[in-house]
Amino acid sequence: EDKVVQSPLSLVVHEGDTVTLNCSYEVTNFRSLLWYKQEKKAPTFLFMLTSSGIEKKSGRLSSILDKKELFSILNITATQTGDSAVYLCASSGSARQLTFGSGTQLTVLP
Amino acid sequence: ETGVTQTPRHLVMGMTNKKSLKCEQHLGHNAMYWYKQSAKKPLELMFVYSLEERVENNSVPSRFSPECPNSSHLFLHLHTLQPEDSALYLCASSQEQGARGYTFGSGTRLTVV
């Protein structure tokens, strides 16, 4: 059974801090790993990673995948209160559906 | 709006009621999904439709009944629910089944009383 584990479950930081969110996975016939941001209801897509060692970047957010160690990290630099959300990691494999982790609840205080 | 629209946004129903959740996408996607999101738990896949055929049913109780009349619409029919069914129900769509990630709707917050 495919499995995705995220850590930490929750994190409280102050504006300007840098945070690193972790995601480990066990997926049969791995195809991709995805990060989503969920603020109120609809998760919104952040990144899709398929290759090891290639950093994807969007503004202050970046993510990288390690297919050997089966994990990914999501970095957010110079955090802002608008970054407060649940960050979801998901992976797809031979099951062809996405398997999600429990998410990391990030709270950025002013 | 993400391109995937869910209605209603909120629903309160009694255990003997029958109601339906609706999901609509106009992104040209050919796969649609129902997920259940309970507090502090991973998103749970309920049903998958690909090209209007149900391809996944993850041991969901029969009190949940999906319907996909065409590639743009997906319903979840609810009857005789239990309080533990209270959750956020998210619909998603994708171009290929799981390959490129999903576009999610805003969800229906369901409360069973």
Lowest-confidence pick of B65-69, B79-83, B84-88, B100-104: B100-104
Longest dimension (CA), chain A: 43
Task: Report residue B108's pLDDT band, with 50, 70 and 90 as the boundaries.
Answer: very high
What's the confidence (pLDDT) of residue B2?
74
B106 phi, psi to nearest 5 deg: -80, -10
Q: Is the pLDDT of residue B60 over 80?
A: yes
Q: Do A42 and B99 touch (CB under 8 A)?
A: no
Q: Please give the residue that has the higher pLDDT: either B104 or A95.
A: B104
Mean pLDDT along residues A82-108: 90
pLDDT tens, residue by residue, B16-58:
889 999 999 999 998 999 999 998 788 888 999 987 777 777 7
pLDDT on residue B88: 95
Using CB atoms, pick whichever of A34, A41, A97 lies closest to residue B107: A41
Residues A11-65: pLDDT tens digits? 999 999 999 999 999 988 888 999 999 997 789 999 999 988 889 999 999 999 9
- A1/B contact by beta carbon, under 8 A: no
Res A64: pLDDT: 96
More confident residue, B22 or A96: B22
Whether chain A has a CB inside 8 Å of the CB on B60: the answer is no
* Chain A residues in contact with B109 (beta carbon < 8 A): 41
> With contacts defined as CB-CB under 8 Å, which chain A residues touch B103?
45
Question: Residue for token digits 């205080």?
Answer: A109
Q: Which residues contact B3 (CB under 8 A, 6 or more apart)?
A: B25, B26, B27, B103
Is B45 at the interface with chain A, CB within 8 A?
Answer: yes
Half-sphere exposure of A91 (CA within 13 A, CB side): 26
HSE-CB at B44 with a 13 A cutoff on CA atoms is: 15
Is A88 touching B (CB cutoff 8 A)? Answer: yes
The arrangement of strands across the sheet holding B64-70 comes to B4-7, B18-25, B73-79, B64-70
Across all residues in chain B, what is the average pLDDT? 89
Q: Are strands A98-100 and B53-57 parallel, antiparallel or unpaired?
A: unpaired
How close, in Å, is residue B48 to chain A by CA atoms? 8
Closest residue to B97, CB basis, from A40, A88, A96: A96
Q: How far is CA B31 from CA A31, A87, B65, B96, in A?
A: 17, 24, 17, 6
Instruction: Note whether B47 and B111 are within 8 A (CB).
Output: no
Per-residue pLDDT at A17: 98
Contact: A45, B107; criterion CB under 8 Å:
no
Burial B12-26 (b: 16+ CB within 10 A, else e): ebeeeeebebbbbbe
User: Which has more pLDDT, A80 or B43?
Assistant: A80
Highest mean pLDDT among A41-50, B55-64, B84-93: B84-93
Under a CB-based contact definition with an 8 Å cutoff, are residues A20 and A75 in contact?
yes
Distance CA B94, CA B104 (A): 9
pLDDT of B54 reads 77
Q: Which of A95, A98, A102 minimises the CB distance to B102? A: A98
